[in-house]
Structure 1
Amino acid sequence: MQKCLVLALLAFSARLAAVTLDITVTDAEQKPLPYTVIELVNSQYPAAAAPDNAQVIQQGLNFQPFVSVVAQGSLVEFPNLDKTRHHVYSFSKAKTFELRLYAGKPEAPVLFDQPGVVTLGCNIHDNMLAYIYVSASRYTAVTDANGQVHFADLPAAEFQLSLWHPWQQQTPDSQAINLSLGNQQKQINLNIMQQALPKAPKRGFGDY
């Protein structure tokens, strides 16, 4: 009985210690900056033991989503929803792979077992471009259309906050953040000029 009480108190204390973090990222013109990957790094909290099973689809001669975040060790599928075939590849250091010309769904997903940024392309359609951010931390997310991201139930600990964006000219400096101080809100401005997303070339009706 006493052991159960101790465990219950520990669980209750852990819930009390959990904090939230809200981050808003803006660009050089102070506009909301989507597609910013925010990674909270602490060696005590590596990527979750149960990795993601994610998808990057091909539709309308484009990859969707433009930026994905997956945990290290995740399996990612690349279903082709277009009528035409695609040839998906990456020469990135974090993952080099090739899915030769195919339609529908490849037989097996691709394992992303090394952290880093993976740039995706199609060997048939030069306009197709997307990114997969493979994170070694379980606390990683990408900003939404409003340039915002919300972390819930974070441990009260010190983290190194790192940022990455596909349009950045240089790697922004990471910064320390102490979540032992409780719930926090942060505003981050990056010297980035927003660009148009990759667009599919104009084609005839029903060509996709």
Structure 2
Amino acid sequence: MDADDRDWSQLLGLDRLPNHIIGMRVSELLDLTGRKAVVTGAGGDGLGQAIANRLAGSGADVALVGRTFWKVEKRAAEIEKRWGVKAVPILADMSDWDQVHRAVRESRDALGGLDIMVNNPVMVVGGPFEKHTKDDIDRTVLGSLTMMMYGAHAALEHLLPQGSGRILNIGAVGGRIQQKGLTVYCSCKAGVIGFTRNLAHEVASRGVNVLGVA
């Protein structure tokens, strides 16, 4: 169809608006019953476990991935008891390519599917940049950007063949503004924004949406 053959709504992209949700209640829009989600970095007291709880509270079954098994095992048991959904603990070091792919595969098998992948890796070394060692820089880049790419890659192995799914990359406001003592971290979070934008552009036409949350 040539541009001249399209009406104004098509030219503005308004024909792609999600009109199917107009008649739904907000509670229906937030209902994730039957969905299967993987959350990385979910064993501690921070954002990962909060995300896992919110997804479970909305009805999703969740796999909690972490480097310390007893921590994710404890969180999974708490979530199952509180929300009445299936929650499984998965052991993996997200800095290891093979472990990441194995963890996502195990999560999918344990849950019976995969709809949502939440990339929430964190390894940060702060302080003045000139005092950083090579290991400090490498650790922060690995934990704040590279591990995000590993997780997304592992999820796409399952989401692309089924033609559906969501990948949520956890960014930070530091990806857009300057923060003293966090030069490497903020640079990586700016990278997360670019990675999310480019990956979304690459896979959206194949049914997978990639989103970023700061």
Question: TM-score, normalized by length of structure 2?
Answer: 0.24
Q: Which of the two has greater helix per residue?
A: 2
Q: Which of the two has greater strand per residue?
A: 1
Larger relative CO (CA 8 A, sep 6+): 1 or 2? 1
